Amino acid sequence: MAGKLYIVPTPVGNLADMTPRAIEVLKGVDTILAEDTRTSGVLLKHFDITTPMRSHHKFNEHEAVAAVVEHLKAGEVMALISDAGTPGISDPGFLLSRECRRQGIEVETLPGATAFVPALVNSGLPCDRFVFEGFLPPKKGRATRLEELKSQPLTMVFYESPMRLLKTLEQFVETFGAEREASVVREISKLHNTTHNGTLGELVQHFTVNAPRGEIVIVVAGCPQQAAVKVDKYAAFKQKNAKV
């Protein structure tokens, strides 16, 4: 009988965000697949979880998937965790989840911590519909992707490193314009969690003087002209159908 794969979110900052169910699952599985066993070791020790760990990260994921699937087929029950947040969201996990589905192995993803949801809601920008972009391409394809997003009417969410934040904001100004509203959230749920709201131009000025630290989420308002066009088209559609 085939085993089962649990995909388990872990805190993005505050360890108190770990759910009781996540702890129970990690204690009950046969093996934990961890993005970084050293980082996860701290988490597991804190919650007195002694389950054996195996490394499963972006550099070995392609090669490791087949072996993991064979263990699952043999009946082993495993949990996949990343360094922080939900595996598969800008972290390893998609390839393994997809292959398990293809092979008929049960996959269950637990609800839990992820960085972009609190950043999006905290930004004050429209969040009923949004586009999650994660990390932009570091070099090749970056300018092309930004140009494609220039007329995106929905709120956009990006991940970025502190070392690249200022350069990214400057590129956003070039593409989206200095007056576009945005929010930069750093160190979500940690002691030094901060949110800076303003125009892209204002955020460039702020982070030119104040060097950022920690993990960062950038939330950028959609193109106002395109959003207005969509609203006008929807209103016309409703009016036309109301007459039918």
From residue 238, alpha-carbon distances to 129, 157, 229, 232, 234 in Å are 20, 30, 14, 10, 6
CA distance 164 to 212: 10
Of residues 68, 90, 95, the one with CA closest to residue 79: 68
Give the start-to-end residue ranges of the domains of the chain. Answer: 4-109, 116-228
CA distance 81 to 188: 19
CA distance 159 to 114: 12
Look at residue 239 in the predicted model and tell me its pLDDT: 58
Helix axes 142-149, 165-176, angle to 10 degrees: 50
Residues facing residue 81 across a β-bridge: 34
**Largest Cα–Cα separation, the chain:** 66
Fold observed for domain 116-228? 3.30.950
Token pair 């140009």 is found at: 147
Helix axes 200-209, 165-176, angle to 10 degrees: 160
Q: Which pTM does this prediction carry?
A: 0.85
Do 181 and 126 form a contact (C-beta atoms < 8 A)?
no
Using DSSP's 3-state secondary structure scheme, residue 33 falls into strand
Of residues 136, 117, 151, the one with CA closest to residue 226: 151
Helix axes 94-102, 61-73, angle to 10 degrees: 40
Which CATH number does 4-109 carry? 3.40.1010.10
Q: What are phi and psi of 38, to 5 degrees?
A: -70, -45
Digit-by-digit pLDDT tens for the chain (244 residues) are: 679 999 999 999 899 999 999 999 999 999 999 999 999 999 999 999 999 999 988 787 788 899 999 999 999 999 999 999 999 998 889 999 999 999 999 999 999 999 999 999 999 999 999 999 999 998 889 999 999 999 999 999 999 999 999 999 999 999 999 999 999 999 998 888 999 999 999 999 999 999 888 889 999 999 987 755 554 444 454 555 655 4
Look at residue 80 in the predicted model and tell me its pLDDT: 97
Q: Are strands 216-220 and 155-160 parallel, antiparallel or unpaired?
A: antiparallel
Helix ranges, the chain (H)? 20-28, 37-46, 61-73, 94-102, 116-122, 142-149, 165-176, 200-209, 224-242
